[in-house]
Structure 1
């Protein structure tokens, strides 16, 4: 699988996160939205869940994909604290992105077509609750999830 879009999406997100960090106190997030640290913690968790699904599919193990923990504000705070704040989260997201690209690149078409029982929520609403091919989880990350969070980060710039 060509990982260029996934790699580029991670780079763009990290560039936006760095710009927000350099700008210092920027715009507060709109009510009900996340600040930069929460966005980065969320992306870190989503990347980790995706890595888990990729490794499981490659090993022939049964896997699922569930983003609920990546939505939980307590968990986001805990991940941020464990990473050492926003700088640590940026590094974690960078490394998770590299790992994900390295793991996805050699997968066969059959592995990429592995149906993964998936539960995706956004703002408390179910977006997906059905098996999704592994390739679609990865391309969705590159084409929708990461660019959406990149836009969220850029909206925090003063």
Structure 2
């Protein structure tokens, strides 16, 4: 698989995460650390699915643990501050991209039973190719969380 778009999305995400003036979400949503923990969790789950496909097992993808506040707090607690989360997010993204780079066309085409939630809303409950799971990160998931981080910056001139 070509991970050029995914790597680019992660660079933008990590740049946004490193902004020094990120505050709290106006709508009571996730703060920057929670966004980072969520992306770390999704990346690890996606890498596990990809390795499962390569190993011949029949993995599933379910993002509910990646949304769970207890899990996000656990991930945050395992890293020394925002810098530690960013460093781990960079490493995890590189691992995922390296795995995806090595997928054969056959492995990328494997259908993975997938269950995706966004907040309390069901987004997807059907098999998706491994390639589409990875492409979804590049096209929607990572850019969406990049925007979420950018929205945490204070507005100027108000």
TM-score (normalizing by structure 2) = 0.94
- Distance in structure 2 (CA, Å) of the matches to 1:48 and 1:85: 19
1:58 pairs with 2:54: yes
- Distance in structure 2 (CA, Å) of the matches to 1:62 and 1:145: 23
1:99 pairs with 2:99: no
| Gap regions ≥5 residues in structure 2 | none
Partner residue, 1:126: 122
Partner residue, 1:13: 13
TM-score (normalizing by structure 1) = 0.94
Post-superposition Cα deviations, 1:97-140, rounded to whole Å, max 9, x if no partner, equal: 11111111121111000000100000111100011100000000
Number of positions where the alignment pairs a residue of Structure 1 with one of Structure 2:
154
- 1:84 is displaced (CA, Å) by 2.2
| Gap regions ≥5 residues in structure 1 | none
Q: In angstroms, what is the RMSD of aligned CA positions?
A: 1.0
1:138 pairs with 2:126: no
Question: Of the candidates 24, 29, 37, which is equivalent to residue 28 of structure 1?
Answer: 24
SS class of match (2:116): strand
- 1:28 is displaced (CA, Å) by 2.4
- 1:32 is displaced (CA, Å) by 3.8
